[in-house]
Amino acid sequence: MTPERIAALFTGEDGAFLCARWGRPVAPVIFGLADESLDIFRSAIRAGYAHAGHPVVDTDPEMGSNLMLFFMRDWAEMDGVPDLDRLTGQPDLPARLQGGEADQYRLFRFDPDGGIRACMIFLRMSGSLAKAHPAALAEALMMRSALSFAREIAPSPELAALIRAAYDPVLPVATDQPAHAMRLAARIMRD
């Protein structure tokens, strides 16, 4: 992975660069899945973060859970999520998602140091995701929650190496400096 390719993954449509990782242990919770699928997702989350060298715990002391995955058949089901506006900080989110073509929506919250404090991912399983293999979807969701990617990503060995490099403890938990991509590329080549 070249520095240019890495920088593009963290550069938003507004041209701003942000590469942030979790600064606290990940405490996942999953809503709306059948029991037989829960183990697949839990295992993928634990394995992915173990590969990055980052802890997964049962509970975050401040928030309880900080990685929240919501599976639903239709965006209208979001109306049943208690305090959704307060949780997301996004008024009328269900209505906005119903008006679009999106099958998923990801939202990050950040700690004062810029590290990821919480990640919420909402998935509409009646669209194209209905045919997704649970293990492949679980791996993709873990990767999309690990870093503040500004673009859609698909799991790959290169992205796994990038995530592992970003969790190197000598690197900052978050930065808005595009030159950070060079540091990440150097760590990937070193591995």
CATH number of the domain where residue 52 is located: 3.30.379
Per DSSP, the three-state class of 180 is helix
Residue 137 belongs to domain spanning: 22-146
72 in Cβ contact with 125 (< 8 Å): yes
Q: Give the 3-state secondary structure of residue 107.
A: strand
- Residue 34 sits in the same domain as residue 94: yes
127 with 172, same domain: the answer is no
Q: Is the pLDDT of residue 87 over 90?
A: no
The model scores a pTM over 0.85: yes
| Same domain for 183 and 93 | no
State mean pLDDT over 53-59. Answer: 96
User: What's residue 100's pLDDT?
Assistant: 75
Assess whether pLDDT exceeds 90 at residue 157: yes
Closest by Cα among 131, 178, 190 to 3: 178
- Same domain? 30 vs 121: yes
CA atoms within 13 A on the CB side of 8: 8
Query: Nearest 5 degrees, angle CA 97-CA 99-CA 100?
Result: 65
Percent of the chain with pLDDT over 90: 74
Q: Indicate if the pLDDT at residue 182 is higher than 90.
A: yes
pLDDT computed for residue 175 by the predictor: 98
Host H or E run for residue 68: strand 67-72
What is the reported pLDDT for 109? 94
Whether residue 32 sits in one domain with residue 4: no
Contact 163, 3 (CB under 8 A): no
Same domain, 40 and 129: yes
Residue 128 has pLDDT above 80, yes or no: no
131 and 38 inside one domain? yes
The reply to whether 16 and 26 lie within a common domain is no
* Predicted pLDDT of residue 16: 97
Same domain flag for 12 and 101 = no
Residue 183 and residue 113 in one domain: no
Count structural domains, the chain: 2
Polymer length in residues for the chain: 191
The span from the CA of 99 to the CA of 158, in Å, is 34
Residue 55 confidence (pLDDT) above 90: yes
Higher pLDDT, 80 or 191: 80
Of 53, 42, 182, 166, residue with least CA distance to 115: 166
Maximum CA pair distance of the chain? 48
- Mean pLDDT for all residues in the chain: 93
Question: Based on the domain organization, do 39 and 133 belong to the same domain?
Answer: yes
Token readout for 16 is 């701003």
Please check whether residues 185 and 139 belong to one and the same domain. no
